[in-house]
Structure 1
């Protein structure tokens, strides 16, 4: 047990993430299935994914406002708001009825609120555990979260079969409420806030300056060189993900629980990646990306072709690289960026990288409804191989050393030294 694991605030953060893991597992299965049930059309699953991922591309408009509330208050209020919004789904279902377009809008709003909390969670982790423990702490959190997520997702698939997606979303709402209560017990140092006397114009100006600062911070780093290829990966994932519910129904002979197993296998693969990360972080990052994503592509092509059992195994294996790369890039940013800039840098990066996802959802919905949901999964596998080849063709990305030696922000590092 590492020292940070026993730290009070870290345990509170971990508890909140685990509760969210329960709700998130149920929501991941029930949200997309609810849209599919209401319409029986994969195209609307694509629209649902578009709604959710569009919020990620707008994160740069929302997340900087996190600088104007204490971290603790921001997490608590966001959880309460998401809980209240999700409670309306079972409420309307039992009273006036549920409209698919209302569900699509609600999915977007809930995802948009989440964009407010992501940079806060990213910022408080190094505050709680210290700079020296970031990689180990992130690996620990991802391992625990994804490990529990496997059971949650698999269980959620079975739960939805018995109670239906609407009542399952009610469970997610309760989980967000419990998470807000848990975060009430945080006691780490909170940031100073702008004076309450500031006018809206002044706050807006300050917000704009924060946003520009985040963009300028990464302008002369290696991040812009990575963004184009990451956008391509998100486009490919966007084509695949909205088709997974219908894809799982085809593979599992209309058994809805199979969708939960596919999502659980995805989490299991990411968890394996998180476990492996501290052990392989010494490898050259460029070569690691190239080799791991080429394997991912082959695994997911196989998942599209083979029957359900080998398909789930291959789908899981292909997800390992995602767990590895996410933690390494995320940890490098946390280590190399000043604490006051972490939230802004991650927001700008995630917003830019997420541009491909909503459009991928629309394309995937059209491909899945026109042909079969199997085709988008196959195409996503092909795209992963193309992604690895793009890194191979770039001398800068191909030659990146181990992540702790890869100076993503060379100017800022030199200034700090």
Structure 2
């Protein structure tokens, strides 16, 4: 099974779910933010919407520990079904009692919170399905498929939103969540029994211990040395992303379809990065990060200044570094962390890294509304260069060897007996 994991039943089921969600997610990525922008007519509200989305990521550490008390299969099926019900209310209310921009933002927030519950489950089952020795290849494969689908469907979604409208497009996303929920019914992999649900007092104690376990696991690792610069870069991304709908309208002379093309450019860049990740892992991880993100900064400043077509090309190429870093970091964590701790470690790390993005989105909405949506693009490009310089002047990060040899986490036995079972 390990040698031919691509044809393994559970791998194909998970891949099918990702494919279906790739269709819905591509449509949702365009229609959700564009609906907020259309209902409000203001970048400020786009900033509020992106604040809600990214705040959910920052709150992952509060949500994910509850995944301990469900089986992987039931957790994934339930999350997809709940997303359908919530998203379905948007077209339902639109065609009946009317739709309020704040309600749309609230639904975006809740759906994002549900994703924080399912994310550690998906991360934990991957080593079970493919084996730790195949993690980098499997993640690269999944990321390539996910972003490949995103390129097609996000680009198409921009046109779809123009033709049928963002509300009807969101209904398509809701239907995709139902289909992925049905797909996950066919999982057959083995897992240990979910942790028994405790009474309220025990729940609070266990919940707190789960969070502490994840924090303790990373405190002696290299992660704290990276986290400040990662928070900074996410803050900068938060400044840029709420302005993307308005930025695309400027570059496209009022065409809403171009927003989908910019999101597709992000997906294409991340996909190329995912494809390149297994090939560039032989290079020093520290220097690879420094060089690639400095190039990203220059390209994104060029994207802000150039007309639509070269702007899209520069923006896409600049995103490749993000795809490489994501795969190498994610795979390293899955390889070096005991399976019982993967979900907790990823949750703590993701929450910490995401904390800057919600506040960046509020500032980005203000900057875009006060000046122009092009200014945040320049600022984000400058931030990428500052990020690379922060690694350059940090001896530990600069000297990191190739990712397979970089010991991000010290080897240790699992001594916390309360957490011997996986999620």
- SS of the residue corresponding to residue 319 of structure 1 reads helix
Contact map agreement 1:303 1:312 (CA 8 A) in 2: yes
Q: TM-score, normalised by structure 1?
A: 0.98
What's the CA shift for 1:287?
A: 0.1
Counterpart of 1:66 in structure 2 is: 67
Q: Is the 8 A contact 2:235 2:357 kept in 1?
A: yes
Unaligned runs of 5+ in 2: 416-423
Alignment partner, residue 165 of structure 1: 166
**Counterpart residue number, 1:279:** 279
- The offset of 1:207, in angstroms, is 1.6
Equivalent residue, structure 1, for 2:218: 218
- The aligned runs of 1:99-118 (5 Å cut-off) are 99-118=100-119
Matched with 2:95 is: 94
Within 2, Cα distance between the matches of 1:412 and 1:387? Answer: 31
How far, CA to CA, are the matches of 2:64 and 2:260 in structure 1?
Answer: 30
Correspondence for 2:78: 77
Question: 1:411: how far off?
Answer: 4.1
Aligned equivalents of 1:274, 1:8: Cα separation in 2? 23
Q: Within 5 Å, which residues of 2 pair with 1:253-272?
A: 253-272=253-272
Q: Which residue of 2 aligns with 1:401?
A: 401
Quote the offset at 1:205 in angstroms.
Answer: 1.3
1:376 alignment counterpart: 376
The alpha-carbon deviation at position 105 of structure 1 amounts to 1.0
**Aligned equivalents of 2:148 and 2:90: distance in 1?**
29
Contact 1:220 1:411 in 2 (8 A): no
Give runs of aligned pairs for residues 283-302 of structure 1, distance below 5 A: 283-302=283-302
Using the TM superposition, give the Cα deviation of residue 193 of structure 1 relative to its aligned residue in structure 2, in angstroms. Answer: 2.2
Equivalent residue for 1:14?
15
**Mapping 1:353-372, distance limit 5 Å:** 353-372=353-372
- Do the aligned residues in 1 keep the contact of 2:69 with 2:196 (CA within 8 Å)? no
- Contact kept, 8 Å, 1:284 with 1:400, in 2: the verdict is yes
Question: Which secondary structure state, in structure 2, belongs to the residue aligned with residue 410 of structure 1?
Answer: coil
Q: Residues 268-326 of structure 1, C-alpha deviation per residue, up to 9 Å, x if partnerless?
A: 01111011111110000000000000000000000000000000000000000000000
Between the aligned partners of 1:209 and 1:367, the Cα distance in structure 2 is 41
For residues 222 and 126 of structure 2, what CA distance do their matches in structure 1 show? 23
Any conservation in 2 of the 1:336–1:413 contact (CA below 8 Å)? no
CA shift, 1:208, in A, is: 1.3
- Separation in 1 of the partners of 2:414 and 2:183? 40
Note if contact 1:268-1:316 (Cα within 8 Å) is conserved in structure 2: yes
Deviations 1:207-258 (A, max 9, x none): 2111110110001000111111000010000000010000000000111110
Q: Per-residue deviation at 1:34?
A: 0.3
CA contact (8 A) 1:407 1:413 kept: no
- For residues 153-184 of structure 1, the C-alpha deviation after alignment (integer angstroms, 9 at most, x for no partner) is 11101100001100000001001111100000
Q: How many residue pairs align between the two structures?
A: 414
What is the CA deviation profile of residues 40-91 of structure 1, one whole-angstrom value per residue up to 9, with x for unaligned ones? 1001000000000000111000001111100000000011111100000000
Once residues 344 and 288 of structure 2 are traced to their aligned partners in structure 1, the CA distance between those partners, rounded to angstroms, is 27
Distance 1:2 1:163 in 2: 45
- Alpha carbon RMSD of aligned pairs, Å? 1.3
**Residue in 1 aligned with 2:188?**
187
Relative to structure 1, is the Cα distance of residues 32 and 103 closer, same or farther in structure 2, using a 3 angstrom cutoff? same
| In 2, Cα distance between equivalents of 1:97 and 1:149 | 30
Q: How far does residue 261 in structure 1 lie from its aligned partner after superposition?
A: 0.5
Residue 203 of structure 1: how far off its partner (Å): 2.2
Q: What does 1:301-320 correspond to in 2, within 5 Å? A: 301-320=301-320
Q: Is the Cα–Cα contact under 8 Å of residues 53 and 112 in structure 2 kept in the other structure?
A: yes
Residue pair 1:150, 1:267 contacting (<8 A) in 2 also = yes
Residue by residue over 1:345-389, the C-alpha shift from the partner in whole angstroms, topping out at 9 and shown as x without a partner, is 000000000000000100000000000000001100000000000
CA contact (8 A) 1:77 1:180 kept: yes
Equivalent-residue separation in structure 2 for 1:370 and 1:195 (angstroms): 53
TM-score (norm 2): 0.96
Q: Is the 8 A contact 1:215 1:345 kept in 2?
A: yes
Is 1:245 matched up with 2:250? no
Shift of 1:195: 3.1
Following superposition, which runs of at least 4 residues in structure 1 exceed 2 angstroms of deviation?
193-196, 411-415
Name the counterpart of 1:389: 389
Q: Secondary structure of the equivalent of 1:184?
A: helix
